[in-house]
Amino acid sequence: MILLEGKPVAQNIKARVSERAKSFLNTFGRKPGLAVVLVGGDPASQVYVGHKVKACEELGLASFRHALPEDISQAELNLLIENLNKDSLVDGILVQSPLPKHLSFSEVLDRIAPQKDADGLTPENVGLAWSGRPRVVPCTPAGIIELLKYYQISLERKNVVVIGRSDIVGKPMAQLFLQNNATVTICHSKTKALEEVAKQADIVVAAIGKRNYFTKEFFDRDAVVIDVGIHRLEQGMLCGDVFFKDVKESVRAITPVPGGVGPLTIAMLMQNTVTLAELRV
């Protein structure tokens, strides 16, 4: 069994990003800039935002953190986004999700200038990606492709099952596999005979949002299993959508949780920000 750890892959990506950021600074006299917007005091979101700000500092990017109160109105949030769109020092904008229930994330995405969409989630960038002309693509799917290539797992002609249909992971993940000449099936919680479908796959991406849901019965012995889920157990430990202890010795390769896909998401966010900065100038 091959353990697909994300840390060495993320380090490679970050090294490239750091060099590009340094070159950008030398050429244009400023650092590529990422604005991160956090609404409310959700503890997990605060941790994630802290990691992103720290990564900017480490790699030579400028970070602009905007911490907003829980009760901010949609109009006030929209106004901030519009001001960030106009800010010449900001190359990428990220609004940390989830937002409080009274706010619309889709409305926020509609306000972000596609040229500053660090997550690759605005309608224009989604359309460009599906048409084969990506500006930037969502960070987690892009990181998974980098992970598979790092471990020399071929994608061409492979049967891939993506379990999950979210705009952030499932749908863009399927598109990236298609772009790499794989044959893709998208499944979800309502898919009939899910276990049978998954067992036919060479590569399975589990992003269904149910902790320890997938056991060894779901996978062929030669399968490569990518676990996107992350859940906190009562004891404070983390687990994924895949029951790691049950599956790890029954497949060809698997990502751990934590330490698998997670480190790649921030690395790809940094890469997207530098890419947007380069495109803007």
87 catalytic residue (yes or no): no
pLDDT given at position 236: 80
Q: Where do the CATH 3.40.50.10860 domains begin and end in the chain?
A: 29-113
Q: Which helix (H) or strand (E) holds 39?
A: strand 33-39
52 catalytic residue (yes or no): yes
Predicted TM-score (pTM) of the model is 0.94
CATH architecture of 139-262: 3-Layer(aba) Sandwich (3.40)
246 catalytic residue (yes or no): no
Residues 138, 169: contact at Cβ < 8 Å? yes
Q: Where do the CATH 3.40.50.720 domains begin and end in the chain?
A: 139-262
Q: What is the pLDDT along the chain (281 residues), one digit of tens a residue?
A: 999 999 999 999 999 999 999 999 999 999 999 999 999 988 888 888 999 999 999 999 999 999 999 999 999 999 999 999 999 999 999 999 999 999 999 999 999 999 999 999 999 999 999 998 999 999 999 999 999 999 999 999 999 999 999 999 999 999 999 999 999 999 998 999 999 999 999 999 999 999 999 999 999 999 999 999 999 888 888 999 999 999 999 999 999 999 999 999 999 999 999 999 999 99
CB burial of residue 46 (10 Å; 0-12, 13-18, 19+): middle
98 preceded by cis ω (within 30°)? yes
Residues 141, 177: contact at Cβ < 8 Å? no
Residue of 119, 202, 227, 241 marked active site: 119
For residues 45 and 35, what is the distance between their CA atoms, to the nearest angstrom? 15
Top CATH class, 29-113:
alpha beta
pLDDT given at position 235: 81
Residue of 14, 31, 52, 171 marked active site: 52
Residue of 14, 31, 96, 175 marked active site: 96
